[in-house]
């Protein structure tokens, strides 16, 4: 049972915060993703778990073992943590053959030669690189090198896999392919995995749970579903999902016993269930968020009198494979909507409806109110 626990983990570089107060629990066999833009601290956290950097505050447990404690002065070296790591540039040794590269951790632990041979062969088979065992890294393609790096990590049967953007250097097509393979592999091997990426698509498709970081601070931890449907702030809401969520500044007003979002160019009335949560915000400025996929052409006859309908002008249609991106405008407020098809023409006025269930409202100072 290999879980990972981080408690109040903090790392500083001089006066700059790399990560601060990270608290999380990773379950056994979980595929856990650290997600965020460059410089958010996700790699720092990963390196701290690996023991390659020391923590300034906080504690880390791997399994039942306390491997890092800044307060108690405990720091177990990386070699003894039972972890295996895959780096963004693969870090395979150019002067060794593929076989020797994969065998490296075993040779260091002085495993018997026969056993090494067997394990390396098995690992190579698993990854489909058996025929490359005698080659040198410079003779391999990027995808092949990545597998060698994986092989080196797997062959040790570690307690934990740590991966730092392993797909970043692959071309787009290979990336999608490898993504699936990696996930399948992880399920098969059943090893607790921590995976770092800045690509939210990767995170959403692969993760059991995601932690979103920004500037060293944790923004939200949850399943992909949680993050998508219940983002806790505008950053997470905007980071997850492509194309990005539409954000509109509004004021929450009360009109004829209904709560409305007033964006000056248009108004939307909200259903009664939302009342209790929003009561305290009446008269306040808020941010409304709605994803492009949750805006659709109105089929109802009520037109703009409907509570959730807004009249918009169609500026641009972008075909994106299976659907269309509509760039619209309500007055001067831009909207992006994803639809399967439309008969509207450019410059035409269209009535769009927003899905009530999917409207997000955020406090202007980054908190969030309701779904």
Partner 1 sequence: MNLSFGRVFTRETMVNLLFVLPSLVLVGYFVYVLIGWNIVVSVSDWRGLTPSYNIVGFGQYITLFQDPVFLTSLTNNLILILLFVPSSLALGLFLAILLDSKIRGEGVFRNIYLLPFSLAFVITATLWAWMYNPDVGVINTLFQAIGLRFLKSGWITDPNIALACVVLAIVWQFSGYTMLIFSAGIKSIPESQIMAAEVDGAKGFNLYRRVVIPQLKTPALSAFVVLMIFALKVFDFIYVLTGGGPAGYSTYVLPLLMFRETFLSTHFAYGAAIATLLFLLVLVIVVPYLYLSSRREKD
Pick the closer one to partner 1 by CB: 85 or 133.
85
Q: What's the closest the beta carbon of residue 285 comes to partner 1, in angstroms? A: 47
Kindly indicate which of the ranges 113-121, 148-156, 257-265, 321-329 contains the residues binding partner 1, using the contact rule CB under 8 A: 148-156
76 contributes a contact to partner 1 by CB under 8 A: no
Q: What's the closest the beta carbon of residue 85 comes to partner 1, in angstroms? A: 5
Alpha carbon distances (Å) from 213 to 54, 165, 181, 258: 19, 15, 26, 37
Q: What's the closest the beta carbon of residue 127 comes to partner 1, in angstroms? A: 17
Among 52, 126, 176, 330, binds partner 1 (CB under 8 A): 52
Q: What's the closest the beta carbon of residue 80 comes to partner 1, in angstroms? A: 8
Mapped onto helix, strand or coil, the DSSP state of residue 319 is strand
Q: Which of 347, 40, 21, 8 is nearest to 212 (CA)?
A: 40
Q: What's the closest the beta carbon of residue 86 comes to partner 1, in angstroms? A: 9
* Rounded-to-integer distance, Cα 161 and Cα 52, Å: 14
63 contributes a contact to partner 1 by CB under 8 A: no
Among 18, 49, 50, 163, binds partner 1 (CB under 8 A): 50
Pick the closer one to partner 1 by CB: 42 or 152.
152
Helices 142-154 & 113-127 angle (0-180, nearest 10): 130
**Is the dihedral angle over the CA atoms 68, 55, 77, 97 positive or is it negative?**
positive
* Rounded-to-integer distance, Cα 343 and Cα 34, Å: 42
CB 52 within 8 A of CB 6: no
Number of residues that bind partner 1 (CB under 8 A): 27
Kindly indicate which of the ranges 64-72, 74-82, 127-135, 190-198 contains the residues binding partner 1, using the contact rule CB under 8 A: 74-82
Among 78, 143, 238, 243, binds partner 1 (CB under 8 A): 78
Pick the closer one to partner 1 by CB: 54 or 279.
54
111 contributes a contact to partner 1 by CB under 8 A: no
Among 95, 340, 345, 365, binds partner 1 (CB under 8 A): 95
Which residue in the block uniquely carries the two structure tokens 């059943």?
Answer: 190
Which residue in the block uniquely carries the two structure tokens 């500044």?
Answer: 249
CB 162 within 8 A of CB 156: no
Among 108, 316, 346, 367, binds partner 1 (CB under 8 A): 108
Q: What's the closest the beta carbon of residue 9 comes to partner 1, in angstroms? A: 19
283 contributes a contact to partner 1 by CB under 8 A: no
304 contributes a contact to partner 1 by CB under 8 A: no
Pick the closer one to partner 1 by CB: 93 or 316.
93
Cis, peptide link before residue 243, omega less than 30° from 0:
yes
139 contributes a contact to partner 1 by CB under 8 A: no
Q: Which of 53, 105, 91, 85 is nearest to 162 (CA)?
A: 85
Q: Enumerate residues 252-271 that contact partner 1 by CB under 8 A.
A: none
148 contributes a contact to partner 1 by CB under 8 A: no
Scanning the chain, the segments in alpha helix (DSSP H) are 42-50, 98-108, 113-127, 142-154, 172-189, 200-206, 224-229, 234-239, 275-278
* Rounded-to-integer distance, Cα 171 and Cα 149, Å: 17
Positions touching partner 1 (CB under 8 A) are 47, 50, 52, 77-79, 83-85, 87-96, 104-105, 107-109, 149, 152, 156
């Amino acid at each position: 049972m290999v879980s990972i626990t981080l408690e109040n983990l903090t790392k500083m570089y001089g006066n700059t915060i790399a990560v601060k107060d990270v608290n999380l629990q990773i379950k056994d066999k979980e595929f856990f993703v650290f997600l965020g833009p460059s410089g958010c601290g996700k790699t720092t956290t990963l390196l701290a778990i690996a023991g390659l950097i020391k923590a300034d505050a906080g504690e880390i447990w791997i399994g039942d073992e306390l491997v890092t404690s800044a307060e108690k002065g405990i720091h177990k070296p990386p070699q003894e943590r039972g972890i295996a790591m895959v780096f963004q540039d693969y870090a395979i040794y150019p002067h060794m053959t593929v076989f020797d590269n994969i065998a490296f951790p075993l040779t260091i632990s002085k495993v018997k030669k026969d056993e090494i041979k067997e394990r390396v062969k098995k690992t190579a088979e698993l990854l489909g690189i058996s025929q490359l065992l005698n080659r040198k890294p410079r003779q391999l393609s990027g995808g092949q090198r990545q597998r060698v790096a994986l092989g080196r990590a797997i062959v040790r049967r570690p307690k934990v896999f740590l991966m730092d953007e392993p797909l970043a250097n692959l071309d787009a097509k290979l990336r999608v392919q490898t993504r699936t393979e990696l996930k399948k592999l992880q399920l098969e091997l059943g090893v607790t995995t921590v995976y770092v990426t800045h690509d939210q698509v990767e995170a959403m498709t692969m993760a059991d749970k995601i932690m979103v970081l920004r500037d060293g601070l944790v923004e939200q931890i949850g399943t992909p579903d949680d993050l998508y449907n219940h983002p806790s702030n505008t950053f997470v809401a905007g980071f997850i999902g492509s194309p990005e969520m539409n954000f509109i500044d509004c004021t929450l007003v009360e009109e004829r016993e209904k709560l409305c979002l007033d964006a000056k160019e248009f108004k939307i009335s909200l259903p009664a269930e939302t009342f209790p949560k929003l009561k305290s915000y009446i008269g306040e400025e808020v941010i409304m968020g709605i994803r492009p996929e949750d805006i659709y052409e109105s089929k109802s006859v009520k037109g703009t009198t409907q509570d959730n309908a807004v009249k918009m002008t169609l500026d641009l249609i972008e075909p994106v494979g299976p659907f269309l991106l509509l760039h619209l405008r309500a007055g001067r407020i831009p909207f992006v909507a994803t639809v399967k098809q439309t008969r509207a023409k450019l410059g035409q006025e269209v009535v769009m409806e927003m899905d009530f269930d999917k409207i997000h409202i955020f406090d202007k100072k980054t908190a969030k109110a309701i779904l």
